[in-house]
Structure 1
Amino acid sequence: MNSLQTETRHIRPYVHYHCGCPDVNKPTTDLESEKEEETFDIDSPGIHFSTFPISKLYFCDDCHQIRCPRCVQEEIVCYYCPNCLFEVPTASVKSERNRCARNCFQCPICQNTLSVVASSEPQPTPSPISPTVPTVSATGAPYYLSCGVCRWDSQEIGMTFEKATGLALQLQKTEDERPDVKEFDHLKDQFEKHLRHNTPSTTLPSSLLSIPGMSGMNSFSSRYGNTGLAHSQQKSDDVEKYEAAVDKVEPENGLVDDLVHLTDVNQITTLTQRMNQLSDQPYKVERLQPQRIHLRTKRVKRCRSCRHILIKPEQKAQATRFKIKLVALKNIPKITIASLPKLILNQPTQIVLKFSNPLYEEISVDLTQEEIIIQEETTIQDDCGKPTLEKVTIGKVTILAPHFNITPYNEVLEYEEDLISSRRAAKADIGIYEKRGNSTSIILEITPLAEVEEFKFPLLVKYTSKNTENNENEGVTTEEKSSGETNSSKAITSDEIFADESNEVTKTLSFWTVIGLGNVIKAPTGTSGTTVKGPGSRTEPSGSKGSSSRGSNSANRSGTSSSKS
């Protein structure tokens, strides 16, 4: 029990948003029936796969739905090197083995970028440590690779270069001479020849299948072009007898003995170093070699339901801007836990939730909370002798301000937050803790009824906003739906979207959130709860020792003054 309490103390509070991840294969009637369900089970087995922080979510502006990384489709825009920012054509990515073909190398020790350095003095004759370590150039080569972080250089393994340009091509020649590379290339040629012989001529080569869109053309041509010729061609599943290009590579003798009698741990490579050199995964540091830097990709992300573009970066590798960037942080209210005291069993505790409005128009928020129920095994057994599952209420959540408004986002007012906060705090409504800029903080009263490992509860957020039809948010035009359209997810629903006579579009959306507050502790003696007051006032625990002592002191002072009189 003590070990369990020690682990639960490290649970951090969080606010996660729920994504329904609609299945496009389901009929529309099934999706609409799921939408009508108002219950949300936070103890379901798949809740951890459908709730995410708001920073990892997107927002589809066409179907008005939250989209998570699982329900978006990615398309590769371009390949580029993160070091030299050189854009690599898609056709040459496979031939270059998804690595940069220029002078971009990675340090085998610390994985930082290596630089080409000219040697100021003639180099001694390199003594290869093992036959697998390559020596690219002859003795006295003037260039080598050096790391400015860990001070490693390629001279330690006898690797130098004749020219300062085309280092990848020079190193590629030595890599092609490796026995395992030769054997793999020979094996690939063997099966490519067999597939080329048994595949109709209308299909595309395997080297073009990695290009986006070419695989669809391949299926189209095989279905509609020259079908008679394809069926008439004789196919054979017999593969020619394979003969190895190189002899069997025997393992190194004495490697196990060297590891057993090892005295210096620093001579053994780490797991990260071996994973960066997957070809042979050397155990000794002296066998590590510089590797070419892997290529990176820029990708377009689309909504799987409506194919609307959510993320579209600039195609140039040097550009960091986005043409389209529909993230949840810029479209739905952000919820954070502003104040969280310790949760005490069977005692009311008040917490503060902060709602921030990222939109340029005022929104009206309505909150709804369900009863927190979990299923636990009871000691009462059924007729079969198995323990039964009983629903137990673990806590009670009271929203003191279920309806409130949030002012629109304004960049100018961010510099006057203190002045705005002090003016609005005096006129705060019941349950409103603070209003500052484009955010509103409300008070929730939590009463834990069971000592659980993690206290969490669902919260349904429904907000309404009004904007003009041609309103643009960060250069992206929003297209509103008509009131007759329906949505396909119960995670966030568009209840009603309509336009009035003043060309204003009213949009009402709702989504589920899961708020985790950590573990619940037993009540220490002498405390009865925690109350949160507005800004500028003191925060005092109700029924605590401090308040009783102040009351007794005031009583003593009044008694003393009366006796003196």
Structure 2
Amino acid sequence: MAQAFPYTFYSCPCVDTSTPSARVRDKRSSQYSTHTKEEEDRTFDPRKSRSNFSLYPLEHLLYCEDCHQIRCPRCVSEEVITWFCPSCLFEVPSSNIRSDGNRCMRSCYNCPVCTAPMVVNSLDSENEKHVRLGEDGEAVQPPGPFYLSCPYCQWSTLEIGVEFEKPNNISGQLARLANGGKTVPTLREREKARDKRKEAEELGKRPDEEEDEGVPDEDLPMDHDIRFSNLSAFYKSQLQTDTMGGDYGYGSSSTLSRIMSMYSGSGAKKSKKDRPSAMREAFGSDEGFQVHNRSSEDEVIKRMRQLGWEGTVSPEQRQSQIQSDVRFAADLRPVPTLLRTKRAKRCRTCRHILARPETKISSSRYKIKLLALNNIPQISLKALPRQAETSVPGITAPVPFDYNKLQPFMANHFILTIRNPLFDPIHVTLATPAVTPGRIQSKVTVLCPEFEVGANTDVWDEALTGPGATQKKSQAPSSTELGASNPATQAEAGKVWERGRNWTSVVLEVVADKADPADLEGGLDEDEDVLEIPMFVRIEYETDITDEIREKDREKGKETGGADGRVKREEAFWCVLGAGRIGALPKLG
């Protein structure tokens, strides 16, 4: 495990998906009573493979105020709020995403070689150095042609023979140009040429030579856009025609009326009629069908021998292209910038919003963000400092603690600190198994399992209204303060070690077991000698009743609070404390 010692991970309730949710248990309490009791009695085992997917640092977790539970990335569902381009920060409507795809359709492109953003430059070098000014003193657009260039690797569209007439609307111009500067016909032009060829074939005439130039060669691979356009037109014509099945074509009015009569019941007594014949498949390049031939593969191999290794593309460059069958550097094209999204997160159980960013593209703030760090106590662990005598009598020096070499069969004391982020005092109950789960069984003891933690109030409130404001000099320090300040004092059972404004520290005693590979069948597994302590934390507190709490309790049919205007809350969760790594036994003699 690469995590530095000591560490604390929190377990999300989704560790066991077979456990029914709280709503299901309320409806079927009798059915799941036995199952729930077994779940409560079972100790959380951090070494199970399933547990690795539910342990997170507290900073990575969210909190649901309706369910009063921790929520990890697996427990939330995401909703896309806005789509935007990271280069030009232009917000793209969702309707455009369905029609144009998830790439920027303006002038934002990335380099196909190094993926850096590309810029538009003019071929006129004089205008690049000195900006032309008009009669009014305003900058005048330099004359074309223009090209896209990468400022990082110096790749440009001039290497593939593509130039642009205008510096804007690069997407529209690039769609009309193929590598080498050849003009690509538009969809409407391809449809007109295809209709003319079909009419000529039906009449038995030969198409004109100008129209033959736009017909793709059967031996050469077709462009993806042309192939998709031909296939789409072919299948649309198949669905709209009525000649294949007589009155029962797929798009005929008689077929639609027959389907409606089946659901209305008026056609149930009619005799069953034959099913329409199946649609035929595409045939020929005009219909989007292309036959694989060996001559094209031989041409590719011959070209690879001529260009060599430098003339081919890498797997990363090939995957970044829209057409993934690109093999040569001369076939690379600028890649449109992928759009980014801003997403909101909801709880999968109650659909409550957990995080919602602002819709403004340039803003990185959140309107709503329910962090577990602001609702769940923060638990930290550190070793109890040890003191060693020096050469000077009566003076001791701290001994550094090595977390990577915990001595087996010796008592190691740790300070467990609980910090309260809430504005109400909480009552904390800690529970941990006497022996850690797994083949290496270490003994764990919490000297003070129940204690109080103060509210997260202002620091000045404690200084002005606290008991230490009037009795700071005259009052004698308590036993707990002596235990924290005097290293020679031993920790006592049932007493806290140190207490602050919104935090409390207790002592945790750990007796590590030996981690000898010779005593274990099959030897030590990976990180099996790491001492991980599962701990169950339960907190209780009282908070003021708000209108939101009353409304939620009214929906659930519960009574809200008592006469004093406060309501009791209770939360519980599992966490894992990484105390260190068990070392080897000291050698005798």
TM-score normalised per structure 1: 0.65
1:520 pairs with 2:578 = no
Q: Does 1:309 align with 2:353?
A: yes
Which of residues 283, 293, 301 in structure 2 aligns to 1:253? Answer: 301
1:369 aligns with 2:369: no
- Please identify, of 319-328 and 497-506, the stretch whose mean Cα deviation from structure 2 is larger: 497-506
Compared CA separation, residues 368 and 10, structure 1 to 2 (3 A): closer
Matched, 1:289 2:289: no
Match of residue 72, structure 2, among 68, 75, 89: 68
Displacement of 1:101? 1.2
Give the deviation of 1:438 after TM superposition. 4.1
Matched, 1:323 2:367: yes
Equivalent in the alignment of 2:530: 454
CA change 1:300–1:434 in 2 (3 A) is same
Amino acid at match of 1:117: N
Q: Which residue of 1 aligns with 2:423?
A: 360
* CA spacing shift, 1:122–1:192, aligned 2, 3 Å: farther
The structural deviation recorded for 1:116 is: 2.3
> Highest Rg: 1 or 2?
2
The 3-state SS of whatever aligns with 1:358 is: coil
Task: Give the distance between the partners of 1:484 and 1:394, measured in 2 at CA.
Answer: 47
Structure 1 window deviating more from structure 2 (308-317 vs 277-286): it is 277-286
In structure 2, the partner of 1:388 is none
Match of 1:240 in 2: 280
The answer to whether the 8 A contact 1:59-1:66 is kept is: yes
**Aligned partner (choices 89, 92, 96) of residue 92 of structure 1:** 96
Select the structure that is richer in strand: 1
SS at match of 1:59: strand
Contact 2:417 2:506 in 1 (8 A): yes
Q: Deviations over 1:471-494 (max 9, x none)?
A: 9xxxxx6668659979xxxxxxxx
* Cα distance change, pair 369–293 in 1 and its aligned pair in 2 (3 A): same
Q: For the structure 1 residues 144 and 374, does the alpha-carbon distance in structure 2 shift closer, same or farther, using more than 3 Å as the test? A: same
Change (3 A) 1:341 1:121: same
| Distance in 2 of aligned mates of 1:478 and 1:298 | 30
Between the aligned partners of 1:230 and 1:312, the Cα distance in structure 2 is 52
Counterpart CA distance in 2 for 1:296 and 1:72 is 20
Higher relative helix content: 2
SS of 2:125's equivalent? coil
SS of the equivalent of 1:401 reads coil
Are the counterparts in 1 of residues 107 and 170 from structure 2 also a CA contact under 8 Å?
Answer: yes
Relative contact order (C-alpha < 8 Å, sep 6+): which is higher?
Answer: 1
User: Is the 1:9–1:518 Cα contact (8 Å) retained in structure 2?
Assistant: no
Q: Using the alignment, how far apart are the partners of 1:84 and 1:357 within structure 2?
A: 44
**CA distance 1:360–1:10, change in 2 (3 Å):** closer
Aligned to 1:403: 450
Q: Please say if residues 440 and 529 of structure 2, whose CA atoms lie closer than 8 Å, have aligned partners that are also in contact.
A: no
Quick one: distance in 1 between partners of 2:306 and 2:33?
Answer: 67
Q: Distance in 1 between matches of 2:69 and 2:261?
A: 41
Deviation at 1:234, TM superposition (A): 9.0
* Aligned partners of 2:304 and 2:312 also within 8 Å: no
Q: What is the deviation of 1:90?
A: 1.6
Structure 1 residue 465 and structure 2 residue 541: aligned?
yes
Tell me the residue number matched to 1:52. Answer: 56
**Aligned to 1:426, which of 481, 487, 497?**
481
> Quick check: 286-295 or 334-343, which moved more?
334-343
- Does residue 569 of structure 2 align to residue 507 of structure 1? yes
Moved more, 70-79 or 430-439: 430-439
Per the alignment, residue 272 of structure 1 pairs with 316
Partner of 1:144: 147
Q: Which amino acid is the alignment partner of residue 349 of structure 2? A: S
Equivalent pairs: percent with the same residue?
Answer: 29
**Aligned pair 1:20/2:40, yes or no?**
no
1:115 to 116, 119, 127: 119
Identify the residue that residue 264 of structure 2 maps to in structure 1.
Answer: 228
The whole-number CA distance in structure 2 between the counterparts of 1:484 and 1:181 is: 55
Conserved? CA contact 1:359–1:409, under 8 Å: yes
Deviations, residues 299-341 of structure 1 (Å, cap 9, x unaligned)? 3322222222222233343343333222222211223444572
After superposition, give the CA deviation of every residue in 1:85-109 in whole Å (9 maximum; x if it has no partner). Answer: 2222222212212111112212323
**Cα shift at 1:410:** 5.0
CA contact (8 A) 2:13 2:69 kept: no
Query: Number of residue pairs matched?
Result: 446
What is the TM-score of this pair, normalised by structure 2? 0.63
> Residues 167-178 of structure 1 correspond to what in structure 2 (within 5 A)?
167-174=170-177
Q: Which amino acid aligns with 2:425?
A: E
Backbone CA RMSD of aligned residues: 4.5
Aligned pair in 2 of structure 1 residues 294, 33: CA closer, same or farther (>3 Å)? farther
Q: What is the identity, as a one-letter code, of the residue corresponding to 2:168?
A: T
* 2:338 counterpart of 1:334: no
Q: 2:230 aligns to what SS in structure 1?
A: helix
- Which secondary structure does the structure 2 equivalent of 1:405 belong to? strand
Cα distance per residue 1:358-396 (max 9 Å; x no partner)? 223332322110144546xxxxxxxxxxxxxxxx56111
- Classify 1:19/1:156 alpha carbon distance in 2 versus 1 (closer, same or farther; 3 Å): same
Secondary structure in structure 2 of the residue aligned to 1:95: helix
CA contact (8 A) 2:11 2:574 kept: yes
Cα distance in 2 for residues equivalent to 1:170 and 1:284? 23
Tell me the distance in 1 between the aligned counterparts of 2:289 and 2:570: 69
**Structure 1 residue 448: Cα displacement:** 1.9
Q: Tell me the distance in 1 between the aligned counterparts of 2:265 and 2:126.
A: 66
What 5-or-longer segments of structure 2 have no aligned partner? 128-142, 179-183, 186-221, 241-248, 254-258, 384-401, 470-476, 485-490, 516-527
- Which segment drifts farther, 9-18 or 271-280? 9-18
| Structure 1 equivalent of residue 507 of structure 2 | 443
Check conservation: 2:44, 2:574, Cα contact below 8 A. Answer: no
Q: Tell me the CA shift for residue 13 of structure 1.
A: 5.4
Cα contact 2:514–2:585 (8 A) shared by 1: no
CA distance in 1, matches of 2:153, 2:378: 43
Aligned match of 1:79: 83
For residues 234-274 of structure 1, the C-alpha deviation after alignment (integer angstroms, 9 at most, x for no partner) is: 97572322124364473423365469x64x6xx76554333
Matched-pair contact (CA < 8 Å) for 1:335–1:356: yes
Alpha carbons 1:73, 1:301 under 8 Å: kept: yes
- Check whether the contact 1:330–1:359 (CA below 8 A) recurs between aligned residues: yes
* Cα pair distance change 1:272/1:192, threshold 3 Å: same
